[in-house]
Amino acid sequence: MPGHDTAAGAAGLRATLVDLDGTLLDTAPDLAFAANRAREAFGLPELPTARVAQFVGKGTDILVQRSLTDALDGRLDPADFRRAKSVFEEHYRIVNGTRSRVFERVPEGLALLRAAGLLLACVTNKPREFTVPLLERSGLLPHLDAVVCGDEVARRKPHPDLILEACSRLQVVPATAMLIGDSANDAQAAHAAGAASVLVETGYNEGESVHDLAAAAGVNGIFPSLFAAAEWILGPAPRPRSPSAGNASAPDTARRGALP
């Protein structure tokens, strides 16, 4: 509960904020299924799951626009967008959480952070209608003190609103919070809010290497998994890997290569 005694984990931290898609879970299979049903309604061929994964990160509306046009900057006319979003949401309600998988050792990583007295919140651009059922089905909801969703704030990531709202609900200041995410959207949102961030390799980052963000403002390190990030946050631990470090054999890494 917000306000409980927090034996700060590392360097005065009181809270850890965690992204959902690509950080806690591999949700691309569910999203791709719903996106392809929307494409099917327009007579378009299916896209590979790995391609749809590149469109994840800026919320449902942008995902639908990108998936229907097969382009990061794609836009539909308003009538087509409304129809496509309706079809997407219809199918996503059915499939949400049925094909997604929790990344390896995520529950253990969250448990480590809680055991250290840190408050935990999930901050996601995903609407609450889909977020809470997904966290419930995956068994992750009990680890969290708060869940803040994209339709509960004025602006989604990369704007700072989600981070600021989560800190408000947890009754902490952003300077005492650390965001674990998987993309530039997460890093930018945390920095704009005045919070630090670390990034994980398990996610999508709109098809770009997360290591391209190693020097981004506020990014404290890049790790193979949430569990590895949690260990570093709590320290003492080895310094985060440099972008040139291979470490492809890290046992707790859930890589996007596993996507169909």
Q: Following DSSP, what letter does each residue of 77-129 receive, concatenated? A: -HHHHHHHHHHHHHHHHHHTTTS-EEPTTHHHHHHHHHHTT-EEEEEESS-HH
pTM for the model stands at 0.85
Question: Which 3 state secondary structure label does DSSP give 223?
Answer: strand
112 and 193 part of one domain: yes
> Which pLDDT score, from 0 to 100, does residue 187 have?
97
Q: Are residues 66 and 84 in the same domain?
A: yes
| In a shared domain, residues 59 and 150 | no
Domain assignment of residue 228, yes or no: yes
Does residue 235 fall inside a structural domain? yes
Which is nearest to 129 in space by CA: 162, 158, 96, 153? 96
Question: Mean pLDDT over all residues of the chain?
Answer: 88
Q: In this predicted structure, what is the pLDDT of residue 241?
A: 42
- 68 and 162 in a single domain? The answer is no
Residues 124 and 113 in one domain: yes
Domain that holds residue 195: 15-26+101-258
Active site residue 19: yes
Catalytic pick from 5, 19, 145, 186? 19
Q: What is the pLDDT at residue 11?
A: 61
Is 259 a residue whose pLDDT tops 60?
A: no
If asked whether residues 180 and 225 sit together in one domain, one would say: yes
Q: What is the tens place of the pLDDT at every residue in 124-168?
A: 999 999 999 999 999 999 999 999 999 999 999 999 999 999 999
CATH code, domain with 67: 1.10.150.240
Six token digits for residue 190: 């945390």
Q: Looking at residue 237, what is its pLDDT?
A: 46
Question: Does the residue 7 lie in any domain?
Answer: no
Total structural domains within the chain? 2
pLDDT of 252 > 50? The answer is no
Same domain, 80 and 136: no
DSSP state of 237: -
Residue 1 is assigned to a structural domain of this protein? no
The confidence score (pLDDT) of residue 254 equals: 30
